[in-house]
Amino acid sequence: MMDVVAQALANHPRVRLAHLPTPLEAMENLSERLGGPRLFVKRDDCTGVAMGGNKSRQAEFYFGRAVEAGADTVVTTGAFQSNHARMCCAYARKLGMACEIQLEHRVAGKGDTYLKSGNVLLDRLLGAVIHEYPDGEDEAGADRNLSKIAEAIAERGGKPYVIPLSADHPPVGALGYVEAAAELVAQAEAMGISIDTVVVPSGSASTHAGMLAGMKAMGSPVRVLGICVRRDAAAQGPRVLKRTRETLELAGLSTEVTDTDVHVTDAWLGDGYGRLNDAAREAMTLAAECEGLLLDPVYTAKSLAGLIGAVRDGTIGAEETVVFLHTGGTPALFAYEEFLGH
């Protein structure tokens, strides 16, 4: 069944820079601590390039298109502590391109460390040109401004390639997670385990939609549980469904997906994007103390908090086999130093 996915992706332009496949490891101590399901972690924090993360798989397909278009500069947008922007800078440099990134002021009330350390420090080290955008909740406006940045590059004689983040554009990055679904199923088979649920953070929804599209295309019964990290479930659910259908279409797969396939919860979103809450702090501490595993405060801490909450409220049964997708974000830990209380 993995062949369906491999064939669908074969014709899409792609660069291959990520270290794949990423490991699938048991989390025996955390399983025991939670007194329930058999837990595994899919280490997409270990994709190799510039401290790794899920954005690496997504970048492979965007940069495939950028190279094919003959671009010399990549332009993209994200929150100030965007892992996506950092990853695009790294891919651009490796491929001999420049990178101009637009950092959005999405999280109010953060100080100098947030604005300068973590991913921002790495963006600067990678030689990015940094633009700022005042509004973090205006996806369409942020994309319009990207076009202006690209126009200015073109006027100077450059060849820009824009990677937008809003859901109004084809979900190119999600193709990386269609492949990740096949990779995961193959690993599980090789390890002799049968996965019931995969827990993923659900933000722009490229990861969630790609994973769901891949599972559905393979006819896999694995439930993909998305933990909202950006917007509430009422907004995220339809976005995931739309992006999953678009991903299948882009990949040339004719699989049907309905809203019953989409599982999202916003119970761990707390005060919103990029704001830590007690459940996320507990998840970070448990991951570190039980598994030596470092989570980031924006995405993976909330995602593991969602997994833990789902075990405690019975959404995930004690007999299940569950995979936690670790999507990276490690550099942001340093930008949140003053909020971590250590």
Comparing CB distances to ligand PLP, the nearer of 204 and 247 is 204
Q: Note the Cα 331 to chain centre separation in Å.
A: 14
Measured from the CB of residue 298, what is the shortest distance to ligand PLP in angstroms?
A: 7
In this chain, which of 55, 93, 110, 223 binds ligand PLP, going by CB under 6 A? 55
Q: Does 136 bind ligand PLP (CB under 6 A)?
A: no
Tokens of 136: 């973090």
Find the binding residues for ligand PLP in span 295-334 (CB under 6 A).
296, 299, 327-329
Interacting span for ligand PLP (CB under 6 A) from 146-154, 201-209, 213-221, 275-283? 201-209
Q: Does 86 bind ligand PLP (CB under 6 A)?
A: no
Comparing CB distances to ligand PLP, the nearer of 153 and 283 is 283
Query: What residue number has its CB nearest to ligand PLP?
Result: 329
Tokens of 107: 């999280």
In this chain, which of 47, 206, 247, 265 binds ligand PLP, going by CB under 6 A? 206
Measured from the CB of residue 255, what is the shortest distance to ligand PLP in angstroms?
A: 20
Comparing CB distances to ligand PLP, the nearer of 72 and 138 is 138
Measured from the CB of residue 196, what is the shortest distance to ligand PLP in angstroms?
A: 22
**Distance, CA of 300 to CA of 277 (rounded, Å):** 13
Partnered with residue 160 across adjacent β-strands are 73
Contact criterion met (CB below 8 Å) for 85 and 101: yes
Q: Does 208 bind ligand PLP (CB under 6 A)?
A: yes
* 329 conformational bin, left if phi > 0, alpha if psi -120 to 50, beta if neither: left
Q: Does 203 bind ligand PLP (CB under 6 A)?
A: yes
268 CB-near residues (< 8 Å, 6+ apart) = 227, 228, 277, 279, 280, 302, 303, 305, 306, 309
Measured from the CB of residue 20, what is the shortest distance to ligand PLP in angstroms?
A: 17
Q: Which of 82, 117, 204, 220 is catalytic?
A: 82
218 CB-near residues (< 8 Å, 6+ apart) = 1, 2, 4, 5, 181, 182, 185
Measured from the CB of residue 229, what is the shortest distance to ligand PLP in angstroms?
A: 6
Tokens of 278: 């007690």
Q: Does 274 bind ligand PLP (CB under 6 A)?
A: no
**Distance, CA of 302 to CA of 309 (rounded, Å):** 10
Partnered with residue 324 across adjacent β-strands are 41, 199
What would the DSSP string read from start to end of 258-322? -GGG-EEE-TT-TTSTT---HHHHHHHHHHHHHH-----TTTHHHHHHHHHHHHHTTSS-TT-EE
Interacting span for ligand PLP (CB under 6 A) from 91-99, 110-118, 203-211, 311-319? 203-211
Q: Does 22 bind ligand PLP (CB under 6 A)?
A: no
Tell me the pairing of strands 98-104 and 73-79.
parallel
Contact criterion met (CB below 8 Å) for 26 and 310: no
In this chain, which of 73, 207, 247, 255 binds ligand PLP, going by CB under 6 A? 207
Query: Angle between the 174-191 and 2-10 helix axes, to the nearest 10 degrees?
Result: 150
Measured from the CB of residue 32, what is the shortest distance to ligand PLP in angstroms?
A: 26
Q: Does 204 bind ligand PLP (CB under 6 A)?
A: yes
In this chain, which of 84, 93, 239, 302 binds ligand PLP, going by CB under 6 A? 84
Partnered with residue 163 across adjacent β-strands are 76
**Active site (annotated) includes residue 82:** yes
Tell me the pairing of strands 24-26 and 98-104.
unpaired
In this chain, which of 22, 31, 47, 54 binds ligand PLP, going by CB under 6 A? 54
Comparing CB distances to ligand PLP, the nearer of 76 and 327 is 327
In this chain, which of 184, 205, 333, 335 binds ligand PLP, going by CB under 6 A? 205
Catalytic residues: 82
Binding site for ligand PLP (CB under 6 A): 53-55, 83-84, 201-208, 296, 299, 327-329
